[in-house]
Structure 1
Amino acid sequence: MDLADVDYDLPPERIAQRPVEPRDAARLLVDEGPGAAPRHLTVADLPSLVGPGDVIVVNDTRVLPARLLLRKPTGGEVEVLLLEPSREGWEALVRPSRKVRPGTVLSAADGADDLQVEVGEDLGEGRRRIRLIGARDEMSAIERHGRVPLPPYIHEALDDPERYQTVYADRPASVAAPTAGLHLTPRVLDACVEAGARIERVELVVGIGTFRPITAEKVEDHVMHAETYRVPAETVAACEGAQRVVAIGTTTVRALESAAATGELEGRTEIFIHGDHPWRTVDLMLTNFHVPRSSLLVMIESFVGRRWRGLYETALEEGYRFLSFGDAMLLRRGGRS
């Protein structure tokens, strides 16, 4: 597949800068399958679209305030984006990486003395090995000094950082939100259960693998970075006995399909879902509208085939909002052509 096959024109004004309020007021483009016109609902209508035998699976990862604003001893500003912990400290994106030599100790930009970061070896692609020093409790220091890292196409600060967290977020670990889940509310989830559906959880720690752009001209040449996942045994059992599995977001899809493909319920996954992927678990996917030429859009193409383009064209014509704070769609698997 050529990368151009998952390209489309996204006008900048269609990129949502703020989430809609309330959460479940986001519009929902409901895919009715090949040859059928989609329906235009809202996320609040999701309970009317599920019923007995359906299992709804969410990714309950929580976004870590992973963006650290620091200074070099010379006073130069440096931004560190924590990606994931390692045995040697953390893997992080450092900007500007080339101007920070190994061994440089960075201090908090606000002058606080309880957080220092020692920058280590270059891991490529702007990634560096770093260590947090001078903090008795690393996570507490990160929570105090870090900021929630919004996507680069979001140019407005959030009044409430919790708006970039799902209502069921649990363990802080991710550097980006599983954005489809941002639309869900306790009211919607409770109504889905009342309709007969079952709610289950997985964890996929969202990292560079999810948001790293595709640079290869041939999609198949793209290499995913590994991300940590965990699928509880009860979630697997529920999905195996389900009439339909409804995955909330592409990260939930990655966790479920990784477990199904390998039989491993936790670990690290480099799964790249594209083309004729042998779908094993997911029947319906609730997801946002994705960046052109991205691995997420490649996954959508694998899930519904070429009709993704018609759905996106309809969404653009009908004024839907795109990307992380935008509206959503409910897709039915099948119909590749």
Structure 2
Amino acid sequence: MNLHEFYYDLPEELIAQEPLLNRDESRIMILNRRTGEIKHDIFKNIINYLNHNDCLVLNDTKVIPARLIGVREDTGGKIEFVLLRRLKNNEWEILVKPGRRAKIGSTFLFGNGELKAEVLSTTEVGGRIVRFSYEGIFEEVLDKLGEMPVPPYIKKKLKDKNMYQTVYAKHEGSAAAPTAGLHFTNELLEKIKEKGVKIVFVTLHVGLGTFRPVKEEIIEEHKMHSEFYVVKEDAAETINNVKKNGGRIISVGTTSTRTLESVADENGVIKPGSGWTDIFIYPGYKYKAIDGLITNFHLPESTLIMMISAFAGRDNVMNAYKVAIENKYRFYSFGDAMLII
């Protein structure tokens, strides 16, 4: 397929710069993936579209304050690090800007020198491997000095780090939030449980590869990034039992979807375990695990819009985005939601 088949034109004013005060009062578009029919609602009414024997699958990863602003030790030149993943002990894979300042052997200071980093090597994608030195506990130092690595299209500084965190975030390790989950409140999740819907958590640590543009004209030639997942035994058992008893598996976000589709066998049975997935889902892919998907509105020509097009059909999705723009929905990480069933 051609990359431009997933392009749409978005007015800049529709890019949400901050979340709503009440998370569950964002709008939600309901898209019937078989007929293409569209309805409009408020997110807190999502309970009306869930059946008592369904299962909602959420990603409980927690975003770390992975963005560090510091200076090169010898020249004082400004530098920006974004932590991608811990490799061992105090060594991390990072993105760096500007890259020309981060030569092998160069050192950088953050805060009042509370955190120091030395560049050890470069990566294939232009990142760096660095070793940090500090006093005390790394997570505490990072929490003090780091900022949330919000996507580049969000220009406003966050007033509160928790704005870019789901209410059920638990396992630290993401460089970006699983944003479909940002719409849920604890109260809404309780109401959903009371209806008899099972709620299950999986973990996928979201990397910044999520935002990496697809550069290949033929999308099948795009190489997908890897992300680490964990699916526990009790989660797999609950999902499999719901499926066996005729309930639907509703995935919250593309990250939960990637996880489930990575661990499902040909019959849709979920296998517990952990590991790295580089699954790339685009039209032509046959879904094995999910029956419904809650998601946000994604960037044009992104792997995420390709993934939902594989689930709902490209024509249905592109039409839904056209309708969303006409109705002035809010787009991207802090924007409105879509339920595809």
Q: Which TM-score applies when normalising by structure 2?
A: 0.94
Within-5 A mapping of 1:78-227: 78-87=79-88, 89-108=91-110, 110=111, 112-227=112-227
AA partner of residue 314 (structure 1): V
CA RMSD of aligned residues (A): 1.4
How far apart, in 2, do the equivalents of 1:129 and 1:311 lie? 42
For 1:249, the equivalent position in structure 2 comes to 253
Please, which moves more after superposition, 202-211 or 61-70?
202-211
User: Structure 1 residue 130: deviation in Å?
Assistant: 0.7
For 1:310, the equivalent position in structure 2 comes to 319
Contact 1:51 1:192 in 2 (8 A): no
Residues 142-186 of structure 1 show CA distances to partners (whole Å, capped at 9, x for unaligned) of 111111111100011121111110000012210100000000011
SS in 2 for 1:84: strand
SS in 2 for 1:39: strand
For 1:277, the equivalent position in structure 2 comes to 285
Contact 2:176 2:208 in 1 (8 A): no
Contact 2:15 2:335 in 1 (8 A): yes
Contact 2:60 2:169 in 1 (8 A): yes
AA partner of residue 84 (structure 1): R
Contact 2:58 2:256 in 1 (8 A): yes
The gaps in structure 2 that reach 5 residues or longer are: none
Contact 2:66 2:142 in 1 (8 A): yes
Contact 1:215 1:222 in 2 (8 A): yes
Contact 1:67 1:80 in 2 (8 A): yes
How far apart, in 1, do the equivalents of 2:259 and 2:37 lie? 30
User: Structure 1 residue 264: deviation in Å?
Assistant: 5.8
SS in 2 for 1:268: strand
How far apart, in 1, do the equivalents of 2:321 and 2:134 lie? 49
Contact 2:66 2:84 in 1 (8 A): yes
Please, which moves more after superposition, 43-52 or 285-294?
43-52
Contact 2:117 2:130 in 1 (8 A): yes
SS in 1 for 2:305: helix
Is 1:44 paired with 2:48? no
User: Structure 1 residue 36: deviation in Å?
Assistant: 4.9
How far apart, in 2, do the equivalents of 1:171 and 1:32 lie? 33
How far apart, in 1, do the equivalents of 2:321 and 2:327 lie? 10
Residues 216-246 of structure 1 show CA distances to partners (whole Å, capped at 9, x for unaligned) of 1111011111110001111111211221001
How far apart, in 1, do the equivalents of 2:66 and 2:281 lie? 27
User: Structure 1 residue 107: deviation in Å?
Assistant: 0.4
User: Structure 1 residue 31: deviation in Å?
Assistant: 1.0
User: Structure 1 residue 263: deviation in Å?
Assistant: 4.2
AA partner of residue 43 (structure 1): F
Residues 287-335 of structure 1 show CA distances to partners (whole Å, capped at 9, x for unaligned) of 0000000000110110111210111111111110000010000012xxx
For 1:265, the equivalent position in structure 2 comes to 273
How far apart, in 2, do the equivalents of 1:101 and 1:239 lie? 48
User: Structure 1 residue 135: deviation in Å?
Assistant: 3.3
The gaps in structure 1 that reach 5 residues or longer are: 333-337
Contact 1:95 1:126 in 2 (8 A): no
For 1:288, the equivalent position in structure 2 comes to 296
Is 1:240 paired with 2:266? no
User: Structure 1 residue 207: deviation in Å?
Assistant: 0.3
Identity %: 39
Contact 1:58 1:249 in 2 (8 A): yes
SS in 2 for 1:311: helix
AA partner of residue 265 (structure 1): G
Contact 2:93 2:127 in 1 (8 A): yes
SS in 2 for 1:125: coil
For 1:325, the equivalent position in structure 2 comes to 334
How far apart, in 1, do the equivalents of 2:220 and 2:118 lie? 37
SS in 2 for 1:296: helix
How far apart, in 2, do the equivalents of 1:256 and 1:136 lie? 38
Q: Which TM-score applies when normalising by structure 1?
A: 0.95
User: Structure 1 residue 113: deviation in Å?
Assistant: 2.9
User: Structure 1 residue 20: deviation in Å?
Assistant: 1.2
